[in-house]
Structure 1
Amino acid sequence: MSGRSLPRFWKEAAMREVEGGFAVVLDDRPVKTPAKAPLVVPTASLAQAIAQEWDAQGDRVDPLSMPVTRGANAAIDKVSVQHAEVAEMLIAYGDSDLLCYRADSPMELVARQAEGWDPLLDWAAARYEARLHPRVGVMHAPQDAAALERLGAEVRAMTAFELAAFHDLVSISGSLVLALAVAEGHLSADQGWSLSRIDETWQQDQWGEDDEAVEMAEKKRVEFLRAHVFLGLCRV
């Protein structure tokens, strides 16, 4: 599916089980990705959600209204052909994880960060035997390589479809640990989003809202929640 608007040429979209998974057909014509690969996904739930997006189109196709389709296209055309590279890029976030970079003042912000982020670092230590350590300030200090390797094993084991969704959870939040917590259901997507915004929320509390920043944050929040939905559809 390209980025340009195309006229609707079908009456009904449907899901169909095929070899290797589930496909979406438009009046019996299989949907293909922008790279012309068959759009075959791992679960019936994901295929059904894609079919619903196509069915919801009006006289012309609006790609921006089809986030599940776009996610499936990305998984097939991009992530599947460079799975290792994408995984390693996301694993690298652990070495500079948002949760580990702390303020030294004011004390209210220091307390908010500790209250919100320390339990997640404790969770990762218990869940994966991967203890990441907080640092004060913004200068990079490497984390323990063995801990990063244990976190990395979880990422490398993801399918291309899971990794496509996980990419957004990590890149939007800035945290590998927080993204894993959301992916595993330890946090809800809303909780994860809020915890990723502790610094921004504190600044907003001090100085008030900036309309442009609020608008940008809302777009990121929507994408974060959509990534979580897509990940769930990949697994049921």
Structure 2
Amino acid sequence: MIRRFYNEVTLAENAGGFQVMLDARAVKTVGGRPQIAPTRALGEALAAEWRRQGEKIDPQSLPLRDMADYAIDIVASGPAAVAEGLIAYAETDTLCYRADPDEPLHARQQEMWEPLLASFEAAHGISLTRVSGVLHRPQPPASLAALKARLAALQPFALAGVEAMAKLAASLVIALAALDAEGEDAPLALWQAACLEEEWQAELWGRDAEAEERRARREADFLRACGFARLARV
């Protein structure tokens, strides 16, 4: 930790976006670029992190700052590569891989996942292949192309948030659905859907405190990434 070196936190308009000012010092990324948020809402969220700091600055309490740095320094310089990496999550999306039909878990997956997946397909005009068991089956190339076009249309901040969500949920469907979902509770419901198999195992074999703590941290990270991406939308 370092000692707090500023008194006032403000938000300044810069280059079509919003940049946090620590007294007269404009915040920059780790890579030395101006940290300019695309929306005032995200700028205010970044400023709030700096305002919450005490006498010493705790870097771990600035997660939105870190995500903004990643969006500017990494994603903005290679969005096509990030999108291509995300397509891998669509090819093996959690919501598409089900237990065998004669297993009890399959019914739970069908009940919770199928409406989400069908709604996602309808919203994007695509179809995705459902798989029972662990053997891989390819997704339709046209569907993957449509998803890649959707990702290419996202600006770097939103794309960074979607990438973080997809990695945590092992699902591009869940990540994009969370980005577009209406209502404050929708992202949490989608996260819980992504954790269906973990919850099933916990119900069968009992809950492990360490596992529950890890899942709670991942949930917080998912919701934070979702909030980041949604605040970044112009």
- The separation in 1 between residues aligned to 2:105 and 2:53, in whole angstroms, is 46
For residue 6 of structure 1, report the CA deviation from its aligned partner. 2.0
Report the AA paired with residue 36 of structure 2. V
Pairing 1:64-83 to 2, within 5 Å after superposition: 64-83=60-79
Pairing 1:143-162 to 2, within 5 Å after superposition: 143-162=139-158
- Name which of 196, 202, 206 aligns with 1:208: 206
For residue 124 of structure 1, report the CA deviation from its aligned partner. 2.4
- The question of 1:169 aligning with 2:165 is answered yes
Confirm or deny: 8 A CA contact 2:18 2:37 kept in the other structure. Answer: yes
- The separation in 2 between residues aligned to 1:61 and 1:86, in whole angstroms, is 31
Pairing 1:1-236 to 2, within 5 Å after superposition: 5-104=1-100, 107-185=103-181, 188-235=186-233
Report the AA paired with residue 209 of structure 1. R
Confirm or deny: 8 A CA contact 1:22 1:42 kept in the other structure. Answer: yes
Q: Structure 1 44/80 Cα, relative in aligned 2: closer, same or farther at 3 Å?
A: same
- The separation in 1 between residues aligned to 2:116 and 2:148, in whole angstroms, is 17
Confirm or deny: 8 A CA contact 2:101 2:132 kept in the other structure. Answer: no
For residue 183 of structure 1, report the CA deviation from its aligned partner. 0.8
Confirm or deny: 8 A CA contact 1:121 1:131 kept in the other structure. Answer: no
Report the AA paired with residue 218 of structure 2. K
For residue 211 of structure 1, report the CA deviation from its aligned partner. 1.5
- The separation in 1 between residues aligned to 2:26 and 2:117, in whole angstroms, is 45
For residue 50 of structure 1, report the CA deviation from its aligned partner. 1.0
For residue 235 of structure 1, report the CA deviation from its aligned partner. 1.9
Residues 81-108 of structure 1: per-residue CA shift (max 9 Å, x gap): 1211111101221111101111116633
* Deviates most, 99-108 or 188-197: 99-108
Alignment RMSD (CA, Å):
1.4
Q: Structure 1 107/214 Cα, relative in aligned 2: closer, same or farther at 3 Å?
A: same
Work out the percentage of aligned pairs sharing the same amino acid.
Answer: 41
Report the AA paired with residue 81 of structure 1. S
Report the AA paired with residue 12 of structure 1. E
Q: Give the count of matched residue pairs.
A: 232
- The separation in 1 between residues aligned to 2:34 and 2:144, in whole angstroms, is 35
Runs in 1 of length 4+ with deviation above 4 angstroms? none
Confirm or deny: 8 A CA contact 2:129 2:137 kept in the other structure. Answer: no
- The separation in 2 between residues aligned to 1:47 and 1:222, in whole angstroms, is 20
- The separation in 2 between residues aligned to 1:83 and 1:147, in whole angstroms, is 20
- The separation in 2 between residues aligned to 1:121 and 1:235, in whole angstroms, is 24
Confirm or deny: 8 A CA contact 2:162 2:229 kept in the other structure. Answer: yes
- The separation in 1 between residues aligned to 2:115 and 2:154, in whole angstroms, is 24
- The separation in 1 between residues aligned to 2:88 and 2:152, in whole angstroms, is 12
- The separation in 2 between residues aligned to 1:165 and 1:82, in whole angstroms, is 15
Relative to the length of structure 2, the TM-score reads: 0.95
Report the AA paired with residue 159 of structure 1. Q
2:13 counterpart SS class: strand
Gaps of 5+ in 2: none
